[in-house]
């Protein structure tokens, strides 16, 4: 899936949670100075920011299929080699990086195994491939309240629970299917406080991802009903959204 929205819309929607994952995913990859790293599906650059802080801009490259996200990542990260590309066709030579990382991307790849094979191809032998995906399958992701309310007003609403890697253990299975070895599976957890209900709700109206698309196609009355059900389901503000992401690390 390509996200054809402005970077600021993504920042306010999923970026508010994904930025909390970035240090943990970089830790899982065990990055250190002197290495080169690739951010696959970089979006506006949450993980890219973390990689630059650890390795320096000249040692980081990033790709994303969304032109608005590529433009934003280039502006935000001077010196980083940011290119428009999909995971299954990475525009780099084999063994160009010490590590390739994909944050909240594998479940949106057209062919997750092919994408991971490509990540392994551009990673040196013995280098690290690491990724994480929200626990949408186990309802541990940050959007669980939204999708529960959406299914109440539309029982057939197609959420993200059946996407690749979103159930426990599946991301590691994908790594193994891609030929990665010494695969380790773990979970990453985050927590973000929302000062008001509107702080939580408004980003869903920006058209980002499957949730934003769902809201966008509702008529005003059903959108208001969805908003009300979400507000009822959440604690009185301020409240904290805690979420879990499945993560995996393997060697190329």
202, part of any domain: no
pLDDT band at residue 5 under the 50/70/90 scheme: confident
User: Does the N-terminal peptide bond of residue 249 adopt cis geometry, omega within 30 degrees of 0?
Assistant: no
When divided into structural domains, the chain yields a total of 1
44 — pLDDT class (breaks 50, 70, 90): very high
Residue 93 has pLDDT above 90, yes or no: yes
- What is the structure's pLDDT at 227? 98
Q: 209-216 and 144-153 are packed helices; what angle lies between their axes, rounded to 10 degrees?
A: 30
Share of the chain above pLDDT 90, in %: 96
127: containing domain = 7-141+160-191+241-251
Mean pLDDT of 117-137: 98
The predicted pLDDT at position 16 comes to: 96
Q: Is residue 198 part of a domain?
A: no
The answer as to whether 22 is a domain residue is yes
Question: Quick one: pLDDT at residue 28?
Answer: 98
Separation of alpha carbons 94 and 240, rounded Å:
43
**Does residue 1 register a pLDDT over 70?**
no
For residues 57 and 189, what is the distance between their CA atoms, to the nearest angstrom? 27
Average model confidence (pLDDT) across the chain: 96
Grouping H, G, I as helix, E, B as strand and the rest as coil, residue 133 is strand
Q: Tell me what percent of the residues of the chain surpass a pLDDT of 70.
A: 99
Q: What is the DSSP string of 101-129?
A: EEES-GGGSSSHHHHHHHHHHTEEEEEEE
Q: Which CATH number is 99's domain given?
A: 3.40.50.150
Residue 123 maps to a domain = yes
Residue 218 lies in a domain: no
Burial of 150 (0-12, 13-18, 19+ CB in 10 A): buried
Q: Go through 35-45 and write b for each residue having 16 or more CB atoms within 10 A of its CB, e for each that does not.
A: bbbbbbbbbbb
Confidence (pLDDT) at 40 = 98
pTM above 0.75, yes or no: yes
Helix extents (H) in 132-208: 144-153, 170-177, 197-201
172 assigned to some structural domain = yes
pLDDT at 139: 85
Q: How far apart are CA 39 and CA 70, in angstroms?
A: 12
209 part of a folded domain = no
Q: Provide the angle, in degrees to the nearest 10, between the axes of the packed helices 16-29 and 46-55.
A: 40
Give pLDDT tens digits for 143-165: 999 999 999 999 989 899 999 99
Q: How far is CA 4 from CA 14, 138, 190, 206, 219, in A?
A: 14, 27, 26, 11, 22
69 part of a folded domain: yes
The pLDDT tens digits of the residues spanning 184-237 come to: 999 999 999 999 999 999 999 999 999 999 999 999 999 999 999 999 999 999
Residues 6+ apart with CB under 8 A from 182: 250, 251
**Which of 48, 124, 50, 33 lies closest to 81 in space, CA to CA?**
48
pLDDT at 95: 98
The pLDDT score that the predictor gives to residue 2 is 46
- The pLDDT tens digits for 50-76 are 999 999 999 999 999 999 999 999 999
């Amino acid at each position: 899936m390509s996200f054809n929205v402005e970077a600021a819309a993504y920042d306010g929607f999923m970026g508010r949670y994904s930025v909390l994952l970035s240090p943990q995913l970089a830790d899982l990859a065990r990055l250190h100075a002197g290495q080169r790293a690739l951010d696959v599906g970089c979006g506006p650059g949450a993980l890219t920011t973390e990689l630059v802080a650890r390795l320096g801009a000249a040692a980081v490259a990033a790709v994303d299929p969304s032109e608005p996200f590529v433009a934003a990542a280039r502006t935000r990260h001077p010196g980083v080699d940011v290119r428009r590309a999909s995971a299954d066709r990475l525009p780099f030579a084999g063994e160009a990086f010490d590590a390739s990382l994909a944050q909240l991307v594998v479940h949106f790849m057209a062919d997750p195994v092919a994408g991971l094979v490509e990540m392994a191809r551009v990673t040196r032998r013995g280098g690290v491939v690491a990724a994480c995906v929200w626990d949408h399958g186990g309802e541990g992701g940050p959007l669980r309240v939204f999708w529960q309310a959406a299914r109440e007003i539309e029982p057939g609403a197609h959420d993200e629970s059946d996407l690749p890697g979103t159930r426990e253990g599946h991301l590691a299975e994908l790594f193994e299917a891609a030929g990665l070895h010494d695969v380790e599976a773990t979970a990453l957890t985050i927590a973000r406080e929302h000062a008001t209900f509107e702080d939580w709700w408004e980003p869903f109206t920006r058209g980002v991802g499957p949730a934003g698309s769902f809201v966008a196609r509702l008529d005003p009355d059903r959108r208001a009903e969805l908003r009300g059900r979400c507000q009822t389901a959440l604690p009185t503000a301020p409240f904290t959204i805690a979420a879990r992401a499945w993560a995996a690390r393997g060697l190329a």
